[in-house]
Structure 1
Amino acid sequence: MKQLGLLISLVLLTLGCETNTVYNEYTDIEDGKWYIKNAPSFTFEIKDASVPYNIYYNLRNSLSYGYYNLYLTRYLRDSSGRQLESRLDELILMDPKSGKPNGEGLGDLFDHKFLMKRNYRFPKPGKYTMEIRQYMRQDPLLNILSVGIAVEKAVPAN
């Protein structure tokens, strides 16, 4: 219980320091069973389209997840519903040879943050929606506990 309190404190401290974060949201996957028909969507607002953004997948899985990777299909739409892009991505959750989990872990839960798009420029200010579907063809996909996205202003390299 002490570790959980420490973890929560660290997360809050970290979030408080991330001034470049425009949006950060998770959707819990009920009972850790991600059905193909369940496509979480995340709507966020871009106020300044003149700057680039980095977009990330946020993911939480249990150590009981049966694969080393996860295929996701993402769909980005503008406020009118027009699809700007769709893409299949592979996320590597564990080392394929050793089985050692990637990400930050506490007990048998692991959190991951994967870069989805680097230095992306939105066409114009407004609301955008990112929809995410699992593409592992196992229905339901077990032991994925939550999925989300983060949108951050890209920080120029010094």
Structure 2
Amino acid sequence: MVKAIISGIAVVFLLVGCGPKPIYEDTYDFTDHFWGSGESPRFTFSGNDTSVFYNYVVTLRTTPEYEYSNLWVFMYTKNPDGKQRKDTLNFPLADPDGKWLGKKTGSIVEHEMLIGWQKKFPALGEYEIRFEQAVPDPELKHVLDLSLRVIKAENTNK
């Protein structure tokens, strides 16, 4: 199981490490390094090409003091036609021994997660992706920021 998680993370780094410039990239900073249960980072971007495949990457940055080995989130997606979708995502952050799966640099641990692979925009227009933390603790401490990147996929063989 741990090998599968590590392999999955390696694939994310290969897919997004070197490649085309993102068509969208933004970061939401958490005040006082704290993600409260009522706080919903929101990302809005334009889908200008329905013929191209895109990858969606979330980057979560925490301090090493973050208390959990994973993070459950609700992801809400809203299309230009107003259709909405809710997904539940689990981001593994540490292996069972407590070793961080992300890249640790000093007082920051950076976790990259692929949340959408080779997806096309169903319509032209504005898209919105919103996240809510979905853990029993209403006050997640030691969370620095959350970023979203939308990147044109290099390999569109599906």
| TM-score category, normalised to shorter length | 0.7 to 0.9
The one-letter code sitting in structure 2 at the alignment partner of 1:156 is N
The one-letter code sitting in structure 2 at the alignment partner of 1:33 is F
Cα RMSD (Å):
1.8
The residue that corresponds to 1:31 in the other structure is: 32
Q: After the TM superposition, which residues 49-60 of structure 1 pair with which residues of structure 2 at under 5 Å, given as runs?
A: 49-60=50-61
The residue that corresponds to 1:112 in the other structure is: 111
The residue that corresponds to 2:68 in the other structure is: 67
The one-letter code sitting in structure 2 at the alignment partner of 1:105 is K
Q: Secondary structure at the residue paired with 1:21?
A: coil
TM-score, length-scaled by structure 2: 0.83
Contact 1:57 1:147 in 2 (8 A): yes
Contact 1:79 1:126 in 2 (8 A): yes
How far off its partner does 1:50 sit?
A: 0.8
State the alpha-carbon separation in 2 of the partners of residues 122 and 79 from structure 1: 10
Q: Secondary structure at the residue paired with 2:32?
A: helix
State the alpha-carbon separation in 1 of the partners of residues 155 and 21 from structure 2: 12
TM-score, length-scaled by structure 1: 0.83
The residue that corresponds to 2:129 in the other structure is: 130
The one-letter code sitting in structure 2 at the alignment partner of 1:73 is F
State the alpha-carbon separation in 2 of the partners of residues 49 and 113 from structure 1: 25
Structure 1 unaligned regions, length at least 5: 1-14
Contact 1:36 1:137 in 2 (8 A): no
How far off its partner does 1:59 sit?
A: 0.6
Contact 2:19 2:154 in 1 (8 A): no
The residue that corresponds to 1:94 in the other structure is: 94
The residue that corresponds to 1:9 in the other structure is: none
Structure 1 stretches (4+) deviating beyond 6 angstroms?
Answer: none
Structure 2 unaligned regions, length at least 5: 1-15
- Per-residue CA shift, 1:83-142, capped at 9, x if unaligned? 1x211010011112x211121221121111100011111111211000001001211111
How far off its partner does 1:18 sit?
A: 4.5
